[in-house]
Amino acid sequence: MSEPSAPRGRRPLPSRTVLLVAAPLLLCALPFYLDAFWLRTGLFCMAAAIGAVGLSLLTGTAGQLSLGHAFFLAVGAYGYVWLAGEPGPGLPPLLALVLAVLLAGLAGLLFSPVAGRVRGIYLGVATLALVFLGHHLLLAADTVTGGFNGRSVPPMAVGGFAFTAYDPELVVLGVPFGAEERLWYLGLALFAGTWWSARNLLRGRPGRALVALRDSERAAAVLGVAVARHRSAAFVVSSMYAGLAGVLLALAFRRVVPDYFGLALSVDYLAMIVIGGLGSVAGATAGACFVTALPLLMARYADHIPFVATPGATEGAVGPTEASRYLYGAAVVLVLLYAPEGPHGPVARLRRATARLRSRRTRADTGPPVPRPPTSAARTKEPTS
């Protein structure tokens, strides 16, 4: 009898699994080590990522151009402020958050007949009208929005626990948890829900239908895809993501003003999804972090960056906001020229090249394959004399 073979060692965990476990743990630990500036920057990035994921579903996956994303962010932000504040119904903040997201979805539903019948640049121009109309309404309805000066944002509270600095006072492992630390975990929860729902939508039948619709409307219609209905549904879902991003943005800013929700914000969101790669949840997140954090970092370190003026300077070089727009404008051009699928494209090509190189080295180390002797069935009979 042959001896039993030695038990094999456990296979190492794949790098993707390690990343999925390590990344949430790292994000949850950051409030214990970062100061308020970095936490606030992270909150802005998470809010922008939620909105960018929604726009990526609409533009990158469904192939519908939208320049009115800022309008739906404004609906979510001001909807929460009015529903939870005074003047207003004064609803519980969590209920106001849910209703604000639904209100943004309702605004998208009212516009969905246009989105279901118009496409391309025509849809972009139609959504552009929403930005100007929304800005006018925000300035005119001063009893609801506060007009030009805006309104203060009621703090979020869940079950008697407020996401503020001292209500109640909270110390965890010797670290005092203020508003930024508490909102950090709220933002993580909202972003995790956004990531999970968007990935499931893309991997399911609705995502495949939207991709087919983007590639060819006629082919999608032949396959049984309801073109107008899926276009409208994509617009509504994108609007709800934008409304949720507007609520988180309002909570991070603590005050909302109409001038923030202008055309420049819609252009910023288009830059996010182009830099990150159209139709990619991870790419939209990376693009949102890049576009959002760049001006904040340039404003903080303007003294150490050449040709960039400090915030508030009236003379001299370019301001941090303008300089950051130049930089990510150049990034958009470079991505469109060399990596139109976003950063994950070069990474995938690098992985394939690395795999080919490893296979070549493996074949070189093992040497040429040893020829096997022919089997009895393959042997030929020798001719008899």
At 3 the pLDDT is 46
Residue 231 banded pLDDT, cuts 50, 70, 90: confident
Cis amide linkage into residue 154, ω under 30° from 0: no
Q: What is the mean pLDDT of the chain?
A: 82
More confident residue, 118 or 100: 100
In the chain, helix, strand, coil percent, each to 5?
A: 70, 5, 30
At 375 the pLDDT is 58
At 385 the pLDDT is 46
At 190 the pLDDT is 93
Residue 100 has pLDDT above 90, yes or no: yes
Which stretch of 86-100, 255-269, 299-313 has the lowest confidence by average pLDDT?
Answer: 299-313
> Using CA atoms, how far apart are residues 75 and 105, in angstroms rounded to an integer?
9
343-369 pLDDT, tens digit each: 666 666 777 777 777 777 777 766 555
Residue 38 banded pLDDT, cuts 50, 70, 90: very high
Contact 31, 177 (CB under 8 A): yes
What count of Cα atoms within 13 Å lies in the side-chain half-sphere of residue 294?
21
% of the chain with per-residue pLDDT over 70? 86
Contact 244, 190 (CB under 8 A): yes
48-85 pLDDT, tens digit each: 999 999 999 988 888 888 888 999 999 999 999 999 98
272-312 pLDDT, tens digit each: 998 888 878 888 899 999 999 988 888 888 777 777 777 66
Distances 172 to 31, 65, 158, 182 between C-alpha atoms, Å: 10, 45, 19, 11
168-201 pLDDT, tens digit each: 777 777 777 778 888 999 999 999 999 999 989 8
pTM: 0.83
Q: Distance of alpha carbon 223 from its chain centroid, rounded?
A: 30
More confident residue, 244 or 345: 244
Which stretch of 20-24, 67-71, 109-113, 204-208 has the lowest confidence by average pLDDT?
Answer: 20-24
Both tokens assigned to 339 = 């990596």
**Residue 222, C-beta contacts closer than 8 angstroms, at least 6 positions apart:** none
- State the CB neighbour count (10 A cutoff) for residue 272: 29
Residue 321 has pLDDT above 90, yes or no: no
Residue 2 banded pLDDT, cuts 50, 70, 90: very low
% of the chain with per-residue pLDDT over 90? 26
At 7 the pLDDT is 47
- State the CB neighbour count (10 A cutoff) for residue 269: 27
**Residue 245, C-beta contacts closer than 8 angstroms, at least 6 positions apart:** 47, 48, 50, 51, 54, 73, 76
139-174 pLDDT, tens digit each: 988 888 888 888 999 988 887 788 887 777 777 777
Cis amide linkage into residue 7, ω under 30° from 0: no
